[in-house]
Structure 1
Amino acid sequence: MFRIEAEVDRARRDLLHSRLRDTNTAASPVLAALRGTPGAREVPLQVWALDEAGGLAGGLVGHTWATWLHVTYLWVDAVHRGAGLGSHLLARAERIAATDRACTSARLETWDFQAPRFYRKRGYEVVCVIPDYPPGITEYTLTKRLPVR
C-alpha cells in the first residue's frame, strides 16, 4: 500500500531528479560516457545587460548540459527592444556555451506572441509546435547547431 501526497518538497524533488538521472544514465551509452565530465551536470548560464543607472535592461537565464545550451528565459525591457540587445544577449550565451562549455547545440521554447520570428532570424529552426498550450496560445520549441569553436 502506498500513501500518495501532493505537496511541494524540495528534498524529495532533488532525490527524484537524482534517481531519474541515474536511471537515464544507466540506460544511455551517451549519457554514461558523460559521467564525470563537465557536461554530465546542468551548469547555470546567465547573461545580464544593465542600463547606465545599473538597472536591469535585459537578461538571459539558462543552463548547459550534455553539449546543449538550454535557454530558459530571454527578456529585454520594452524601452530597449529593437536596438539589438536581445541578439547580443543570445549571441553571448551561445558563445559561452560553445567556447567555454563545448556545446554544439541550443534549444529553447517560446510562444507565438513572444519571439519565434526573432529566433528564426538567428538561425533557430522550429522542431515542435504545440497548439493551444496554454489555451489560445501556440508554443514552439526551436533548436540551433552552434558553430564549433
Structure 2
Amino acid sequence: MVSRMFRIETGDDKDRRDLLRKRLRDTNTAASPILRALRGTPGERELPLHIWALDETGALAGGLVGHTWATWLHVTYLWVDDLHRGTGLGSRLLSHAEHLSHQERGCLNSRLETWDFQAPEFYKKQGYEVVCVIPDYPPGVTEYTLTKHLP
C-alpha cells in the first residue's frame, strides 16, 4: 500500500531540484517519440550557448546566453549596451547563435521570450514569429514567445 502521508517543505535544495529535473526529463523522454529517438545522442543533452561581444577596451558590449536541446535553440538573454544599440550588434549576436546552433548542434528551430517594452519588433525583423502572447505578465506588461525555423 502506498503511503498518503506527505510532508510539504519549501526552500532551496539544489540536490532535490536536480533530482526532480532528471525525473521529469525521464518521464518526458518516455512519452515523446523525438526525445526517445534522441536518447544517447548529443541532441539529448542541454548544452549552454554563450556568445560575448567585447568593445576595443575589452568591456562587455553585448551578449547572448541560451542553450540548445532537442533540436531547438532557446535564447534566454540577448542584451546590447546602449552605446552600441543600432549598430547591428544584436542582429550579429543572434545570427551567430542561430548559425552555431544549426551547423554545429543540428538545431532546426529557435525560441525566445521578450516583453513588449523590449524587442518584439526586432525579433520579427530577424524572421521570428509570435506564437504566444501573455498579457499582464508582469502586471502592465505583455510577454511574447517567438519562434523561428532555422535555415
TM-score normalised to structure 1 length: 0.98
What residue is the counterpart of 1:78 in the other structure? 82
Matched letter for residue 102 of structure 2: A
CA-CA distance at 1:53 after TM superposition: 0.7
What residue is the counterpart of 1:101 in the other structure? 105
Where 1:109 maps in the other structure, the secondary structure is strand
What residue is the counterpart of 2:11 in the other structure? 7
Write out per-residue CA displacement over residues 110-132 of structure 1, whole angstroms, 9 at most, x where no aligned residue: 00000000000000000000000
One of 82, 88, 91 as aligned partner of 2:92: 88
Find out whether 1:51 has 2:28 as its counterpart.
Answer: no
Write out per-residue CA displacement over residues 73-92 of structure 1, whole angstroms, 9 at most, x where no aligned residue: 00000010000000000000
| Runs of 5+ consecutive residues of structure 1 not aligned to the other structure | none
Aligned mates of 1:29, 1:64 — CA distance in 2: 18
Stretch of structure 1 that moved more, 103-112 or 28-37? 28-37
Matched letter for residue 39 of structure 1: G
| Runs of 5+ consecutive residues of structure 2 not aligned to the other structure | none
Aligned mates of 1:12, 1:88 — CA distance in 2: 38
Identity of paired residues, percent? 76
What residue is the counterpart of 2:139 in the other structure? 135
What residue is the counterpart of 2:116 in the other structure? 112
Aligned mates of 1:133, 1:21 — CA distance in 2: 27
What residue is the counterpart of 2:43 in the other structure? 39
Write out per-residue CA displacement over residues 20-48 of structure 1, whole angstroms, 9 at most, x where no aligned residue: 00011111111111000011011000110
After superposing on structure 2, the runs of 4+ consecutive aligned residues of structure 1 that deviate more than 4 Å are none
CA-CA distance at 1:13 after TM superposition: 0.3
State the number of aligned residues.
147
